[in-house]
Amino acid sequence: MVSRQSDHSQGSERSGEERPGRISRETRAKIEAEMVKFPVKRGALLNALHLVQSETGYISQETIEELAELFEIHPADLRGVVSFYNMFHEHPQGRHHAHVCTNLSCSLRGARALLRELEGHLGVRSGETTADQRITLAHEECLGACAYAPVMRVDETYHEDLDLERAKKLLDELE
Amino acid sequence: MLKVPYVTNYLTEHFADDSFATVAGYVARGGYAAARKAITQMSPDEIIGTLKGSGLQGRGGAGFNAGLKWSFMPKQTDLPKFLVCNADESEPGSFKDRILIERGPHQLIEGLLIGAWATGSEKTFIYIRGEYAYPAECMQAAIDEAYQKGYLGKDVMGTGFSHDVVVQRGAGAYICGEETGLLESLEGKRGQPRKKPPFPAQYGAFGMPSTVNNVETFSHVPHIIGKGADWFRQFGTEKSPGTTIFGVSGHVVRPGLFELPLGTKLEEIIFEHARGVPGGRKVKGVIPGGVSMPILPAGMLDVPMANEFLRERKTMLGTGGIVVMDETTCMVRVACVISYFFRDESCGQCTQCREGTGWMNKIVERIERGAGSEEDIEVLGDIAGKVEGATICAFADAASWPIQGLLRHFRSDFEQHVKLGKCPFPESFEL
Amino acid sequence: MPIITVDGVEYEVAAGRTLLQALDDLGVLMNGVDIPHYCWHPKLSVDGSCRLCQVEVEGIPKLQIACDTPVKDGMVIHTKNDRVKRAREGVMELLLVNHPLDCPICDQAGECKLQDYAYAYGVPHSRTKEPRRAAKKRVDLGPTIVLDQERCILCRRCVRFCREVPGTGELGTFGRGDRTVLDTFPGIALDNDYSMNVADICPVGALTTKDFRFKIRTWFLDEIPGVCTGCANGCNIFIGVANNKVYRYVPRRNDAVNQTWMCDAGRMSYKEIETADRLTGVSVRGPSGALEPAPLSTGIRVAAERLRRVADAKGASVIVGFGSAHATNEDLFTLRRLLSGLGTEAAAVPVVTGKADALLVKAEKAANGSGARALGFAEPGRVIERIRGGGADAAIVLGHDLLDASFLGDTADLARLDTVILLDSRRSDLERVAHVVFPTRHAAEKSGTLTNHAGRVQRILQAVEPRFESYADGEVLHRLGIALGLAGFEGDYDVRAVSREMARSVPAFAGIDLGSLGGEGAVLAGSKGEGER
């Protein structure tokens, strides 16, 4: 029995008018502004993916197809790039990311025990999202804050010198 | 936001002052004078000669003479040339580049300008790891101000020389800190390192001649050019001159950053500057330069922190990320953490690295669980040996060395796990 | 030219080549100098990640990968010492750590480079106790290929192939580290005209063709060198035969003609051999007006009598002949001699055309249009005009391309002729107007030579024997010549003798005959060949 791939159209043909896509006009403009900074427009890809993900929360298949057209590369090629990096997500995420560093310096100072407590507190396992879609909890590799371990990155902000109470409070305050 | 270093020197002495991150504050402390001198009074060859003579070793982990690397850039070429600043800092135990970017961005820009003039580069790409969102903001703010005030862009400081700086964000992949993995990622691809040769000076960013250096390396440059190679050599050792910013973490009373001359003894850094181990416990082992570097046992802490001495102890300076582990620490658990990291971060190209990091991690975790055998310890060591020295980039070496170091000095921890069928260190950090 | 020494033997090589390229140029790679490799392929860009081709280069401390080491004059290489042996053992052991134990159900078995190199260069037993990585098995990648992600050793040849050869780029690697997998983008299938080549270049059973899946074990197959007959490119192939049945075509390397590739359509054209509409016996139109089975001798006698009668009544010039671009040079040479012997020079060849591409596929959808033309068969226009103008009364017709819309379109014009002798391998409307029908062989069922678009003459050797009555066109025509009492036609049909005669009497074929041709063919005098590839 040979498994079938999902049936999906290859993408509509280029038309003159703007298609309603997943990437907003604003973000598109930002991406185009990035492209001119690089000798080859593909150089702007990682910056573009960050821009798109900050808008849509994750990089969907449709987004990949749209970006592939914009950057003139094959979707398989682009998805290969997206799937290589920890920070890009191909599935919907919680509204907030809470990542606890579990590398050596942080583990030495109790980071893993902290993560386990937070798992219990939120009712999810590391890598999962809370039922209300509020928080995706995960572990992360060294964040570059080793002297202030344990460290948690919440979205774009580092929270250092954590203890369990402070960590829980931080998470509870997230909407 | 990172605390400023507890011990400072020429790189970080003004970091407590918020204004140092602004043009006005930087210039008031003599900033950009070295760049002006370099561009208006020195030839590229002179600058490269000075840098070579200074003995500045790259501070990104490999320790390659920076001036020598700059000299590889082709002098006569129609191709555009680029500098690439490696701000991917992802080596576990390392957090020094972060402070240099947050508190000394203009110092970095000045280093880039001098490097650009010396190599004929028209643009710098600063590749900064994706998780460093705040440092990237700081960097971009400084860059924007530098453009506004004429320190970047066309006709820098009225010298006629032009240079641009672009910030590219990484996205969470340690291997993008490897010079050619970085270049691939910069080009918008999977960060899979390239075969060398060709070296970046021949085929670099977007195929153009490029020089890749670490944040800290560039940050030393204005000081060396401003005050001279001889001045620089007063710090550090003969073979490893200058200061570096050591990061100390783990089981110490005062973890943090310490800018000290190379050659400072490890025990001085741990017991004096970082104030020793909490609870009066003994040190069991110390990783001297970030997790890729083999561990040192307690009996070797008198080693001066410079490559020529560390190599004799079968380890290296790396990024100066010192991780202290006290007597409660189970080294097999340490091996679990480290081997998991390398397994996760392998790009996956080379057979030995892809399969070897996975296998080593699985064996270590099985030994830790108490399901290992004496033979497994043998196999582990053997695989580490097979993975080393045979791949496109040094990541495989970096993955193999820690395991070799742990087996070399702490084999008994592994043997006890096997004998007892569980971890013999009840007080050790939890996995 | 630089001289390098490999295991004590000196080789003169071309400058600018890598070690693997240089040894491959000389034809000694894996054929005297064994440097096993996975990711390198002579026709793809260099990857360098499998690490199996490591060799010792004197003067360089670390082992070097031969695929990326440029040759230098005076270079000394060792491939058989302990260091290299251990390095290979290391790579093989590590590759097998996660590789599934699928040999019993894997199509690649018997021609699997993992099996071969593990046996030759690997360690005798595995030390791993860990569970193997799980990934997707039996993935439908598209119309022609099945993927097993677990078997993949991530050599990425297939990814490079799709990007560099057809330029379609459907394949990619996803993820990182030991979780990396090969796959397509969801919804964009692996679907290009050359897709099945990925199964050839895949060293293991990760990529296999749906067509060949589970059909037969490769070690039962005889791989007989042949030539694809789907178009005028003449891609070199191996015909996989077992029990007198063709199971597959795979490309055979010929750097001038097709490098290491062939198109999917050509690869699948082996199915033409055993179609249901093969002509399986001689038939003669009887007094009732219907075609009735007859023995060969009767068919020959009736055909000869009819041709004689027409020639005697109206002169030989009313006899015309249509060669087939699917027939061999020898078949066509025999027809030409027959027609000349009868006294007519009206010889034409209809060649059906279609789309060509920038790679291998040529517009002429038959293998031997060039051969026919070199042997004096003209464009059909004039002869068709003669037929329509009433200037012809008998035709010998090979094949049914004549009925294509670009030529006659239908049988009406031929219906008016007194005599139509048809030689064909498959049924067609031409039977309705033929007076005698002879069943003929597919290229795989006979020996001979074919001339491709660039004038390269290539030999084919019989791979299978038809299970029904069937003859080489040349054999039928030879017997007809004998029955007609023409000079030069005697004894049994001997294709090699015919080929020699062709080489002797047709200047373009000088020195080129079935017996003297090697596996790579030879270019007709006056043709330019394919040029640099």
Query: Does residue B154 share a domain with residue B187?
Result: yes
Distance CA B176, CA B188 (A): 12
Interface of C with B in 43-82 (CB under 8 A): 46, 48-52, 54, 62-63, 65, 68
Residue B69 lies in a domain: yes
B361: buried, middle or exposed (CB in 10 Å: 19+, 13-18, 0-12)? buried
Long-range contacts of C161-168 (CB under 8 A, 24+ apart): C161/C41, C161/C44, C161/C197, C161/C198, C161/C201, C162/C190, C162/C192, C162/C198, C164/C44, C164/C45, C165/C43, C165/C44, C165/C194, C165/C197, C165/C261, C165/C359, C166/C192, C166/C193, C166/C194, C166/C195, C166/C359, C168/A74, C168/C192
- In a 13 Å sphere around the CA of B284, the CA atoms on its Cβ side amount to 19
CB within 8 Å: A104 and B93:
yes
B358: buried, middle or exposed (CB in 10 Å: 19+, 13-18, 0-12)? buried
Residue B2 lies in a domain: no
Range of the domain at B224: 18-233
Query: Does residue B350 share a domain with residue B250?
Result: no
Helices B44-54 and B105-119: crossing angle in degrees, nearest 10, is: 120
Mean of pLDDT values over B340-366 = 98
pLDDT, mean over chain B: 97
Residue B425 lies in a domain: no
Query: Does residue B153 share a domain with residue B112?
Result: yes
Beta-strand relationship, C207-209 and C145-147: antiparallel
Residue B4 lies in a domain: no
Helices B44-54 and B215-227: crossing angle in degrees, nearest 10, is: 110
With contacts defined as CB-CB under 8 Å, which chain A residues touch C141?
A: 5
CB within 8 Å: B348 and C178:
yes
Q: Å from A86 to nearest chain C CA?
A: 9
Domains of chain A by start residue, with CATH: 25-82 (1.10.10), 96-172 (3.40.30.10)
Report cis status (omega within 30 of 0) of the bond before B255.
no
Residue of C nearest to B172 (CA): C176
CB within 8 Å: C94 and B344:
no
Is B428 strand, coil or helix?
A: coil
**Residue B300 belongs to a domain with what CATH number?**
3.10.20.600
Q: What is the pLDDT of residue A12?
A: 36
Task: Kindly state the greatest CA–CA separation across chain B.
Answer: 72
Mean of pLDDT values over C201-228 = 98
Cβ-nearest to C188 among A1, A2, A75: A75
Top residue of B355, B357, B367, B380 to mutate, by most chain C CBs within 10 Å, is: B355
Helices C82-97 and B374-387: crossing angle in degrees, nearest 10, is: 110
Taking a C-beta distance cutoff of 8 angstroms, is the pair C199, C148 a contact? no
Q: What is the pLDDT of residue A21?
A: 52
Is B67 strand, coil or helix?
A: helix
Residue of B nearest to C88 (CA): B386
Flag whether residue B363 sits within 8 Å of chain C, measured between CB atoms. Answer: yes
Is B261 strand, coil or helix?
A: strand
- pLDDT tens digits for range A60-95: 999 999 999 999 999 999 999 999 999 999 999 999
Q: What is the pLDDT of residue C348?
A: 97
Top residue of B90, B190, B196, B349 to mutate, by most chain C CBs within 10 Å, is: B349
Query: Does residue B78 share a domain with residue B172?
Result: yes
- pLDDT > 70 in chain C, percent: 100
Cβ-nearest to A74 among C138, C169, C210: C169
Q: Which residues pair with C54 in a beta bridge?
A: C65
Query: Does residue B227 share a domain with residue B84?
Result: yes
Of B174, B200, B233, the domain-final residue: B233
CB within 8 Å: C185 and A10:
no
pLDDT, mean over chain A: 89
Number of domains in chain B: 3
- pLDDT tens digits for range C504-531: 999 999 999 999 999 899 999 888 888 7
Counting every residue written for chain B, the total comes to 431
Query: Does residue B143 share a domain with residue B123?
Result: yes
**Which chains neighbour B (Cβ–Cβ under 8 Å, 3 or more pairs)?**
A, C
Mean of pLDDT values over C383-407 = 96
Query: Does residue B263 share a domain with residue B411?
Result: no
Cβ-nearest to C169 among A1, A8, A77: A77
B144: buried, middle or exposed (CB in 10 Å: 19+, 13-18, 0-12)? exposed
Of B213, B233, B253, the domain-final residue: B233
Residue B298 lies in a domain: yes
Q: What is the pLDDT of residue C527?
A: 87
Beta-strand relationship, C319-322 and C456-460: unpaired
Cβ-nearest to C128 among B173, B359, B392: B359
Is A160 strand, coil or helix?
A: coil
Residue B431 lies in a domain: no
Query: Does residue B290 share a domain with residue B364?
Result: no
Whose tokens are 């069937």? That residue is C470
Q: What is the pLDDT of residue A14?
A: 37
Confidence of residue A3 (pLDDT cuts 50, 70, 90): very low
Type of residue at C289: G
CB within 8 Å: B354 and C178:
yes
Mean of pLDDT values over B171-198 = 97
Domains of chain C by start residue, with CATH: 3-80 (3.10.20.740), 283-452+466-499 (3.40.50.740)
φ, ψ for residue C293, nearest 5 deg: -60, 145
CB pairs under 8 A between A and B: 157
Cβ-nearest to A2 among C146, C187, C188: C146
With contacts defined as CB-CB under 8 Å, which chain A residues touch B250?
A: 104-105, 108-109, 146
Residue B224: C-alpha distances to residues B42, B55, B108, B119 (Å): 13, 10, 13, 16
Of B200, B233, B266, the domain-final residue: B233
Query: Does residue B345 share a domain with residue B287?
Result: no
Counting every residue written for chain C, the total comes to 533
With contacts defined as CB-CB under 8 Å, which chain B residues touch C48?
A: 195, 392
φ, ψ for residue C400, nearest 5 deg: -125, 20
* Helical H segments across B228-275, by residue range: 229-233, 266-267
Residue C105: C-alpha distances to residues A18, B324, C109, C132, C532 (Å): 51, 52, 8, 17, 42
Q: Check pLDDT > 70 for residue C232.
A: yes
Taking a C-beta distance cutoff of 8 angstroms, is the pair B164, B123 a contact? yes
- pLDDT tens digits for range B29-63: 999 999 999 999 999 999 999 999 999 999 999 89
With contacts defined as CB-CB under 8 Å, which chain A residues touch B130?
A: 46, 50, 85, 87
Top residue of C19, C40, C55, C94 to mutate, by most chain B CBs within 10 Å, is: C94
Report DSSP letters for C205-236, one per residue. TTEEETTTTTT--GGG-EEEEEE--SSTT--E
- pLDDT tens digits for range B308-330: 999 999 999 999 999 999 999 99
Q: Check pLDDT > 60 for residue C138.
A: yes
Q: What is the pLDDT of residue A20?
A: 44
Q: What is the pLDDT of residue C526?
A: 85
Q: Å from B325 to nearest chain A CA?
A: 8
How far is CA B339 from its chain centroid?
A: 19
**Which chains neighbour C (Cβ–Cβ under 8 Å, 3 or more pairs)?**
A, B
Distance CA C203, CA C89 (A): 18
Residue of C nearest to A64 (CA): C185
Taking a C-beta distance cutoff of 8 angstroms, is the pair C53, C66 a contact? yes
Tell me how far apart the terminal alpha carbons of chain B are, to the nearest angstrom: 28
φ, ψ for residue C133, nearest 5 deg: -60, 140
Query: Does residue B247 share a domain with residue B228?
Result: no
Query: Does residue B139 share a domain with residue B25?
Result: yes
Q: Which residues of C touch A (CB under 8 A)?
A: 136, 138-141, 146, 168-176, 183-189, 210
Taking a C-beta distance cutoff of 8 angstroms, is the pair B200, B80 a contact? no
With contacts defined as CB-CB under 8 Å, which chain A residues touch C169?
A: 74, 76-77
- In a 13 Å sphere around the CA of B92, the CA atoms on its Cβ side amount to 32
CB within 8 Å: A144 and B95:
yes
**Residue B189 belongs to a domain with what CATH number?**
3.40.50.11540
- pLDDT tens digits for range A31-63: 999 999 999 999 999 999 999 999 989 999 999
Quote ipTM for the complex: 0.95
Q: Check pLDDT > 70 for residue A1.
A: no
- pLDDT tens digits for range B192-245: 999 999 999 999 999 999 999 999 999 999 999 999 999 999 999 999 999 999
Strand segments, DSSP code E, in B4-117 are 82-87
Taking a C-beta distance cutoff of 8 angstroms, is the pair C39, C50 a contact? yes
CB within 8 Å: B430 and A84:
no
Residue A57 falls in which region: left (phi positive, over 0), alpha (psi -120 to 50) or beta: left
Residue B283 lies in a domain: yes
Distance CA C503, CA C513 (A): 6
Q: Å from C349 to nearest chain B CA?
A: 53
Q: Check pLDDT > 90 for residue B1.
A: no
CB pairs under 8 A between A and C: 59
Flag whether residue B58 sits within 8 Å of chain C, measured between CB atoms. Answer: no
Distance CA C257, CA C236 (A): 7
Query: Does residue B156 share a domain with residue B103?
Result: yes
Interface of A with C in 60-79 (CB under 8 A): 61, 64, 74-77, 79
Q: Check pLDDT > 80 for residue A8.
A: no
Rounded to two decimals, what is the model's pTM?
Answer: 0.94
**Which chains neighbour A (Cβ–Cβ under 8 Å, 3 or more pairs)?**
B, C
Distance CA B215, CA B86 (A): 6
> What DSSP state is assigned to residue C317?
G
CB within 8 Å: C138 and A9:
no
Whose tokens are 């396992």? That residue is A125
Q: What is the pLDDT of residue C51?
A: 97
- pLDDT tens digits for range C165-212: 999 999 999 999 999 999 999 999 999 999 999 999 999 999 999 999
